[in-house]
Amino acid sequence: MPKFVPYRPPRVPPAETVARGEAVLAEMNTRRSVRQFAPDPVPRAAIELAIRAASTAPSGAHQQPWTFVAVSDQEVKHRIRVAAEAEERRNYEGGRMPPEWRDAVARLGTDWHKDFLDIAPWLVVLFEQVHGVRDDGSVRKHYYARESVGIACGMFIAAIHRMGLVTLTHTPSPMGFLRQILGRPSNERPFVLLPVGYPAPDAVVPDLRRKALEQVAIFVQGDRD
């Protein structure tokens, strides 16, 4: 029998719920993916807290199928940079990136150079545990691992933003080298690489617009609300 415990968060009146929503939107709307980092250090405690916040994410069967590897070691960061740039160079210049993909990311102004992998004080690599491994070595199936890790990733990004730091969802492709460099087991698949730090004082971001509510939402409303 599962054990249940009471859950009694304070009840928020509707007007305050909306006011809080406005504040959340205003804050989330200032988040941007940043590719130019200041080299300034970020305390390990900040990274630990962001990981703990992310690790509160819901997950399939509460299996929490994620591993966060946080790297501040310059030498390891550099090895990651060299390997990521080698893959990205093949994508951008070796014709491995189909024209349609190139067009889709053109407005982001990215190329194969990934200086931020040396400069950002932390590289947090999020791994998806595709399956679990029991103490006796047998495989334990994980349910909705990818979705769960995606949610944890979003919560990590929100925590980092809330803390006044910036990050980037970097997905050098393919990402298998991260497993090798970081010595992770074969049941872990690199999901995303998140450089974390403060933005460079002269950082710029592409002038993007977010889709309007009408473009992203459809309401099927009853007449009681």
Q: For residue 178, how many C-alpha atoms fall within 13 Å in the half-sphere facing its CB?
A: 28
Rank residues 63 and 110 by Cβ distance to ligand IYR and give the closer one: 110
**Smallest gap from residue 88 Cβ to ligand IYR (A):** 5
- Nearby residues of 170 by Cβ (< 8 Å), 6 or more positions away: 84, 114, 116, 117, 192, 193, 194, 195
Bridge partners of 197, per DSSP, are 166
Distance (Å, whole) CA 75 – CA 72: 9
Is the bond preceding residue 174 a cis peptide, omega within 30 degrees? Answer: yes
Distance between CA atoms of 36 and 178, rounded to whole angstroms?
21
Q: What is the DSSP letter of 62?
A: G
Q: How far is the CB of 63 from ligand IYR (least distance, A)?
A: 27
Residue sitting closest to ligand IYR (CB): 110
Q: Which is closer to ligand IYR, CB of 112 or CB of 144? A: 112
Q: Which of 64, 69, 88, 197 binds ligand IYR (CB under 6 A)?
A: 88
86 binds ligand IYR per the rule CB under 6 A: no
Examine residue 85 and tell whether it contacts ligand IYR (CB under 6 A).
no
Site for ligand IYR contains 108 (CB under 6 A):
yes
In whole angstroms, how far apart are CA 14 and each of 17, 21, 221?
Answer: 5, 10, 17
| 50 closest CA partner among 130, 133, 154 | 154
From 18-26, 102-110, 125-133, 182-190, span contacting ligand IYR (CB under 6 A): 102-110
In the complex, least distance from residue 207 CB atom to ligand IYR, rounded to whole angstroms: 16
Least distance (Å) from ligand IYR to the CB of residue 53?
A: 24
* Candidate residues 105, 133, 139, 204; the one interacting with ligand IYR per rule CB under 6 A: 105
Sequence-separated (6 or more) residues with CB below 8 Å from residue 162:
27
Binding-site residue total for ligand IYR (CB under 6 A)? 8
Residues 170-199 that bind ligand IYR (CB under 6 A): 170-173
Binding site for ligand IYR (CB under 6 A): 88, 105, 108, 110, 170-173
